[in-house]
Amino acid sequence: MKLDERHLAQLAAVVQAGGVTEGAALIGMTQSALSRTLAMLEKRIGEPLFEKGRRPLQPTALGRALAAHGQVVLATSRKASELVADFRHGRAGVVRVGGTPFFTDALISTMIAEFQNTHPEVRVDQSYGYLPDLRDALNSDRIDLAISPIGILDEGSNLEFKELLPGRNVVACGATHPLLGKRRLKPKEMLDYSWIMPPPGSPLMADLRSLMISLGVTEIKSRYAGGSLLSAINYMKHTDALTILPHSVIFAFRNEKAITALPVEVPHPKRALGLFRRVDTPRAPAVDAFASHISISFEKLRLLIARHAQAVIWRA
């Protein structure tokens, strides 16, 4: 005998609520419709589901057993309804975000954690890449959002861009670097020190090469390359090596007092650090919620980062 799962769920509502009227209100049915369901179910089974003449309603042993199965159906249905509601309001789903490695590690990873503290049912899949790779990932639907330094988008681009922060790279060093004690630092004095090579193909590498050219040299003195952001920071803490980092990374690690920036202008094209996504894809609520969280987080940080740049980088 095959029983309709909906009828079992309705039986469970009556047993849980203690009456037909209360059970109908619990699941959004009319009392008459629910009474018909119970009568039809008893007729199909050929056994009573409730003790005759007992008030409040008392299920029979069979009625109680069937209601237990119905409770599972009822609970599953509720969870499904909650899931749909959470998805529609951006409280559930998946967000696929890609970003440049150093910037993502320094700032975005913290923002992801803060987002998930208020959206625990949203899973975030994070990946790394630079602008060409991120653009390809967006266009091939491998990520939903990209966070990267970027110039003016190509004409006819199908990407929507929102600026988060003016793009600015600086010369980074350990907090006790000898050049920090110079009253008037001459840029060429940086050539006396070794450099940590930024990731190949990154704007950081391009800016380091531009800086070297502006100083009249074509070869970079380097003894360390290929490390992560954390390894670069640890290396600077124990050596006098220099490197190029986004100023926002220096800001993110300000409380640790391990690294800082030299008061030197790094020549680089005008960039903006921002959030971009495709304009021709459906908007998933969780992705919109995450994008909003990132934007609001940077609105709060923007003035603090600008003040930090004035206080630290241009203190000389």
User: Do 160 and 242 form a contact (C-beta atoms < 8 A)?
Assistant: no
What are 62-69's contacts with CB under 8 Å, separation 24+? 63/11, 63/15, 64/15, 66/3, 66/8, 66/11, 67/8, 67/11, 67/12, 67/14, 67/15, 67/16, 68/12, 69/8, 69/12
User: Do 275 and 291 form a contact (C-beta atoms < 8 A)?
Assistant: yes
Between 92-106, 154-168, 233-247, the lowest mean confidence (pLDDT) is in 154-168
Over residues 288-299, mean pLDDT: 96
- Three-class HEC string of the chain: CCCCHHHHHHHHHHHHHCCHHHHHHHHCCCHHHHHHHHHHHHHHHCCCCECCCCCCCCECHHHHHHHHHHHHHHHHHHHHHHHHHHHHCCCEEEEEEEECHHHHHHHHHHHHHHHHHHCCEEEEEEEECCHHHHHHHHHCCCCCEEEEEECCCCCCCCEEEEEEEEECEEEEEECCCHHHHCCCCCHHHHHHCCEEECCCCCHHHHHHHHHHHHCCCCCCCEEEECCCHHHHHHHHHHCCCEEEEEHHHHHHCHHHCCEEECCCCCCCCCEEEEEEEECCCCCCHHHHHHHHHHHHHHHHHHHHHHHHHHHHHCCC
The pLDDT assigned to 282 comes to: 85
The pLDDT assigned to 134 comes to: 94
CA 266 vs CA 107, 199, 278, 279: distances in Å: 22, 17, 32, 34
316 pLDDT band (50/70/90 cuts)?
very low
The pLDDT assigned to 119 comes to: 94
- The percent of residues above 90 in pLDDT, for the chain, comes to 59
CA distance 250 to 57: 69
Task: Tell me where in the chain the CATH 1.10.10.10 domain(s) lie.
Answer: 5-88
CA distance 259 to 176: 8
| Fold of the CATH domain 5-88 | Arc Repressor Mutant, subunit A (1.10.10)
pLDDT tens figures, 5-58: 888 889 889 888 888 899 889 888 999 999 998 999 989 889 898 888 777 788
269 pLDDT band (50/70/90 cuts)?
confident
Mean pLDDT of the chain: 89
Task: Tell me where in the chain the CATH 3.40.190.10 domain(s) lie.
Answer: 93-167+271-310, 169-261
Q: Check if CATH label 3.40.605.10 holds for domain 93-167+271-310.
A: no
The pLDDT assigned to 270 comes to: 86
pLDDT tens figures, 88-135: 777 889 999 999 999 999 999 999 999 999 999 999 999 999 999 999
CA distance 238 to 175: 10
What are the beta bridge partners of residue 148?
A: 274
CATH number given to 169-261: 3.40.190.10
281 pLDDT band (50/70/90 cuts)?
confident
Residue 83 has pLDDT above 80, yes or no: no
The pLDDT assigned to 312 comes to: 65
> For residue 3, which phi and psi values (nearest 5 degrees)?
-105, 145
In this prediction the pTM is 0.73
